[in-house]
């Protein structure tokens, strides 16, 4: 049986004193408890928190660091590291996951979530997207209200309130993936 990979994206800037960091640790543990491989960007912040939680729960963790980022070291909780030469390759590796979960983040997280969303809209078998929290729901709503996207395009991005809602949402995404709508032009 092929392993299910769930990638988690989010801010590298948050630290253990942040509630979102503690939530990411819990999320990593919950994903690992399902037997899913947990993939992150490979560095600290919410990526490291998620990997730490997954590793502590006995799960397999994969980091996606970039060779050009020589000033950063991959997080110690990565059991496996898949090096990317650049951001484009890192996105390709991220998008190879079965589901991508977006935690709180900034522009980099937004860019990654947008790429996953766009691919899920057009490509059969693309990673499914689950976004966590009111901020992501607001982003999804702004897209629906202000860009050229119909309700089915917007609904591809599943939004959940908290990390406690992620495992059921991932199960749903795996059981009922959004139908790729083909090239949208």
CA gap 125, 142 in Å, rounded: 26
**What domains are defined for the chain?**
5-174 (3.40.50.450)
Identify the bridge partners of residue 8 per DSSP, sorted by sequence position. 101
In tens digits, the chain (185 residues) has pLDDT values of 579 999 999 999 999 999 999 999 999 999 999 999 999 999 999 999 999 999 999 999 999 999 999 999 999 999 999 999 999 999 999 999 999 999 999 999 999 999 999 999 999 999 999 999 999 999 999 999 999 999 999 999 999 999 999 999 999 999 999 887 777 65
The per-residue pLDDT for 2 is: 72
How many other CB atoms sit within 10 Å of the CB of residue 177?
17
User: What confidence score (pLDDT) does residue 179 get?
Assistant: 83
The pLDDT assigned to 110 comes to: 97
Distance CA 133, CA 82 (A): 28
């Amino acid at each position: 049986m092929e392993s299910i990979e769930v990638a988690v994206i989010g801010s590298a800037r948050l630290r253990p004193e942040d509630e979102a960091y503690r939530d990411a640790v819990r999320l990593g543990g919950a994903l690992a408890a399902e037997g899913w491989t947990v993939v992150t960007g490979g560095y600290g912040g919410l990526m490291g928190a998620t990997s730490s939680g997954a590793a502590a729960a006995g799960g397999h963790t994969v980091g996606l660091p970039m060779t050009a980022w020589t000033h950063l070291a991959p997080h110690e909780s990565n059991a496996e590291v898949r090096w990317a030469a650049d951001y484009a390759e890192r996105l390709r590796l991220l998008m190879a996951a079965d589901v991508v979960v977006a935690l709180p983040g900034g522009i980099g997280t937004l860019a990654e979530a947008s790429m996953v969303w766009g691919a899920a809209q057009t490509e059969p078998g693309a990673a499914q997207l689950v976004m966590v929290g009111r901020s992501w729901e607001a982003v999804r709503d702004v897209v629906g209200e202000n860009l050229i996207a119909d309700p089915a395009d917007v609904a591809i991005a599943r939004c959940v309130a908290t990390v406690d809602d992620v495992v059921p949402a991932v199960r749903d995404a795996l059981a009922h993936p959004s139908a790729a709508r083909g090239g949208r032009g």
